Amino acid sequence: MPENLSHLLGRKGLNKNLFEELGIAAQDKGTPDMERMEALRKEFLVGKSTVYGTTTFYDFLRPENQGKKVYICNGSACMTAATQTELKDKISKYYSADEIGEMCCLGRCHENNAFHIGGKNFSGTDIHEIAQIKSNALKSKEKYNVAQIGTPILTEKIQDLTNFYKLLKISLKKSPDELLNEIKKSGIRGRGGAGFAMGFKLESCKNTPSKDKFIVCNADEGDPGAYSDRYLLEEQPHKVLLGMILTGYIIGANWGVLYIRGEYPESVDKIHESIAFLRENHLIGDAILGSQFNFDFKVIKAMGAYICGEETALLSSIEGQRPEVRVRPPYPTQLGLFNMPTVVNNVETLANIPFILAEGGEKYAAIGNAKSSGTKLVSLDSHFNRPGIYEVDMGIPLSKVVEVLGGGFKNKIKALHIGGPLGGLVPVAKINDLLVDFDSFAQQGFLLGHASVVSIPEDFPLVKYIEHLFQFTAHESCGKCFPCRLGSTRGYELFKKAQNEGYIIDKTLLTDLLETMEKGSLCALGGGLPLPIKNALMYFGEELKEYIY
């Protein structure tokens, strides 16, 4: 049935899709009314359950969102910084309880106090001017550090866009195979967390015959603590866009789709502005620069669902289906968006492509180390003396990132949660043992993932943090597989009960629960959550012993 729906929902193409239409219908009230949903059902020839199931899944579409005017960030970094309770008290003086909702995460982890009003994000000291913000008379004063150690591939500013896009003309005179060979030589691995070889993915899609193909940029950066993709979208958008165009040329795609978090309104605006520049300069469209290559962009604004960071759920979301994880195989490179061959890569991965094709795959491969080539962006939260976005050569000691770039910690920290909610929980004592590369983290029992860093202060109870992780997963689960859907809810209940009712958790049963989630979940949401919990049990057993036996 989902395969048939993909064909049906794709008959109007990208220019008009059900997901966007539901977002438009929700603009006035925060949720689409039943009459509009029925009209859309008839227009797209789908059942009531498809439209209702899709609408009620997303934070910014479901009926509970009706009437919301301000949203407070409930991400991990803001939670451990303990800023949001006071923030909510201040906002409550200007908005009623029914007008206040929650978002996770706004990517303001470097200064916290994060909230969203009128389609704009605010953080840090912005809350002191809430009256002006409410009247739409103030922009955010947000700022964060950007620096690098090693090769500035992603953080180096583009001085001249005309000169930058000369690479496109040069590349279009080469064959797709020539360009693909450079990417394969570079050894670049996906920066979204899985670390999958990009060259293999591109080759698979390129060799799959089809009239239509897509390149999709997964800009649904939902990991609390991560804001490196947001940095690229807002400060280096043309590296991302040119990376998509070149990738599209290699695989034979005519469309690039950017699926950008609704929690990042500034990113959406900046990408639209940058695409307008490309259109004005005839760098996209038909017969680009006199070649036979046609390529254009479609920007999709997401509606609040962490699971859409998983590539198959993202594709279902674009189509207008409920964003549930698809069983693989088949993989998206064979059967992806609207059942067409599709490559899905995250923002940071695509932003590396211009450098690789301009400088050559071997030069890129020489940066970093043999198994993790190139550079990596790292997001440091507000517990560091110099929070911000830092680019480092793969293989750099983690201690150098913490001490040299981050300037050490402002207060006493006991652990770093690196790589998002599914990443490893690293005790501070282990910092000196780790390198910033995929294999070093894996060998030590952690996960580099997105390389976002959420610091956990010494006085923040780990039992509360574990409860938060289970609660986050339960809220964000697509619900398709029961190990994730039920396991995350059961874990949340156990740790909440342990704190509030003096309940002691049976360690054997907890281990069974984690193993069931790890082995039985369809995707990394349910399957990845056990990692930080296991890390906590291994390294912080003494702190947790009053709750677990």
Q: Which tens digits make up the pLDDT trace of 127-151? A: 999 999 988 878 899 999 999 999 9
Q: Where does 449-481 have alpha helices with state H? A: 462-476
- What percentage of the chain has pLDDT greater than the value 90? 91
The neighbour count for residue 173, using CB atoms within 10 Å, is 9
Residue 101 has pLDDT above 60, yes or no: yes
Radius of gyration over every alpha carbon of the chain, rounded to an integer in angstroms: 23
Q: What is the pLDDT of residue 2?
A: 62
Same domain for 138 and 6: no
Is residue 332 within 8 A of residue 344, CB to CB? The reply is yes
Q: Please give the pLDDT value at position 137.
A: 78
Average pLDDT over residues 329-341: 95
370 assigned to some structural domain? no
Provide the residue range defining the domain that includes 132: 70-143
Q: What is the pLDDT of residues 149-171, one digit of tens each?
A: 999 999 999 999 999 999 999 99
pTM (predicted TM-score): 0.95
Residues 225 and 346 occupy one common structural domain: yes
Task: List Cα–Cα distances, 184 to 199, 264, 296, 449, in angstroms.
Answer: 5, 32, 25, 21
Q: How confident is the model at residue 10 (pLDDT cuts 50, 70, 90)?
A: confident
Question: 46 and 94 share a domain?
Answer: no
Sign of CA dihedral 535, 541, 546, 549: positive
Same domain flag for 162 and 300: yes
Mean pLDDT of 245-271: 97
Asked, for residue 58, whether it belongs to a domain, the answer is yes
pLDDT confidence bin for 12, thresholds 50/70/90:
confident
Q: Is residue 324 part of a domain?
A: yes
Are residues 491 and 524 located together in one domain of the fold? yes
Q: What is the mean pLDDT of residues 360-388?
A: 96
Tally the domains of the chain. Answer: 5
- What does the block give as tokens for 433? 């043992």
H or E segment to which residue 19 belongs = helix 18-25
Quick one: pLDDT band at residue 371, thresholds 50, 70, 90? confident
- Residues 33-39: what's their mean pLDDT? 94
Q: Clarify whether residues 150 and 139 are in a common domain.
A: no
**Mean pLDDT value across the chain:** 95
- Tell me if 32 is assigned to some domain: yes
The burial class, CB within 10 Å (0-12 / 13-18 / 19+), for 546 is exposed
| One-letter identity of residue 161 | L
Mean pLDDT, rounded, for 240-249: 98
Check residue 505 and report its DSSP letter. B
Q: Does a structural domain hold residue 413?
A: yes
Q: How far is CA 437 from CA 194, 202, 432, in A?
A: 12, 22, 14
Q: Are residues 469 and 524 in the same domain?
A: yes
Q: Is residue 309 pLDDT above 80, yes or no?
A: yes
Give the pLDDT score at 88: 97
Regarding whether 380 and 353 lie in a shared domain, the answer is: no
- pLDDT, position 222: 86
Cβ-based neighbour number of residue 85 at 10 Å = 9
Q: Report the pLDDT value the prediction gives residue 257, as an integer from 0 to 100.
A: 98
Taking residues 397-404, report their average pLDDT.
97
Instruction: List pLDDT tens digits, range 428-458.
Output: 999 999 999 999 999 999 999 889 999 999 9
Residue 549 falls within a domain, yes or no? no
Among 43, 65, 87, where does a domain finish?
65
Residue at a domain's end among 410, 442, 457: 457
| Domain final position from 365, 384, 405 | 365
Give CA separation, 433 vs 150, 441, 542, in Å: 20, 9, 22
Q: Which of the four pLDDT bands, split at 50, 70 and 90, describes residue 358?
A: very high
CA distances from 489 to 45, 159, 483, 501, 517 (A): 35, 50, 10, 17, 11
pLDDT (average), residues 63-75: 95
Is-cis flag, bond preceding 457, omega within 30?
no
Residue 453 sits in the same domain as residue 350: no
> How large a percentage of the chain has pLDDT more than 70?
99
What pLDDT shows up at residue 126?
96
Looking at residue 171, what is its pLDDT?
A: 98
Q: Residue 520 pLDDT more than 80?
A: yes
1 has a pLDDT exceeding 50: no
Half-sphere CA count of 129, side-chain side, radius 13 A = 14
